[in-house]
Structure 1
């Protein structure tokens, strides 16, 4: 009872204390009974008023209507709250009515605590929506997309190319662009030549053009993979990861899908993300066992040696 009263406003604590004193004090005369009765009615009125604040709308499940048919007659006969038989004494009347008040106050307190808890939960959710700390979901091995390249669904923008020097321009111009009947293959092959010569920014620009202009070309898996290589070899691991992941997810049976998955692991190693590197390596070994033990066996073993996976 003490804990319940402490949560209420001071006015209600005073009301209950007054009622308690009324119980403990003797009832010397009818005049005193009438005064106590009036004070108790006032207590009940305050409790009903408080109920209407905590339970707006006048829900009959929690409190009686303020005015009901026959209510005044019941008050005149001493049968307040509808539970006191006519033959009860004044003290019994007070005790029963105080028990009813205490039950109502406990209900009010419990409801107030529920509302406070609901407000606290709402504030937590709002904080999360506004950018508060939110725990990330766990990543399973079926979700290689959980890398920093998770946004690879959209075409990654090409990195800006710095203004080349005169000497570099001459060197790049010395690399001939193929001229065949397959324009798409010519674009890819020129990008490959730039990459092979170590001109990574120029290769990225050329390969991006190929990927955008020829998305259905037979060399598209080669082009996306090589574009990732042009980033990775230039120490741009995060951008490389986006392209490797995109190439692998777009067509897992593509000509260079296996290469992209292995290079995705290498990108994660370069980013010091051991956990995701291990996910990619495990996926590579299970999805492409023949390639892992054949064409890319050396690269696979070299990559595995760089990380400790559970």
Structure 2
């Protein structure tokens, strides 16, 4: 509708300029107004229709054909031109106001969207966000919830140790978060600890505990991935045998009991000393849960 209005206004001004009138002071004033309005209309058109051209917008109302003018009709023609220019000025003011109003509304919408996209502030810079995790292992977008003030306070109360061993401190901090049942925060911290201290002995501990944190958070699929990766990437790590046991637990929860039995068998074959020692009771309970023969 705006494009039709602009084209109609242009057509009216163009038709009016074809009128031959004496070069009086009134005419010169009208010419200046028309020139100014044409410039303003072009500016408005460029703002409303970027890259557009007036030739692409056909008017709904075709200007009436002007009859040949004579000196006797010059006065009425000038009066008609002035009336049209007045109408054009009013239309221009209205259109400009609409453009400014729409721009204001758009700015408010953009401000709201920008505010909604700002991530929650972590209580410990460089450590872990206090916002509830949206990592569910499924596709799709999720809206981040506002952090619970009590949860923020609880996470802030978990102290990052400072023993002079960054790898040890990073893992212990993740362990403390897990032990306090702040599972999403623990997951984020343990991922960070394993990534930033991959050559540290605690990397095996961090990856294994990451899998357990997923299990405790009701995410067996993510747990199975984390636990299997720890076994594959760090087979000589101190918690690689434990990862196989907890992997069997995740597979049982995923209703893959035959796979869980195969994992427990591999645990006994690859780590016989551990399987017959400190993990024996767990392996026995794991086989019972998986209905292993």
Task: Choose 1 or 2 for highest CA Rg.
Answer: 1
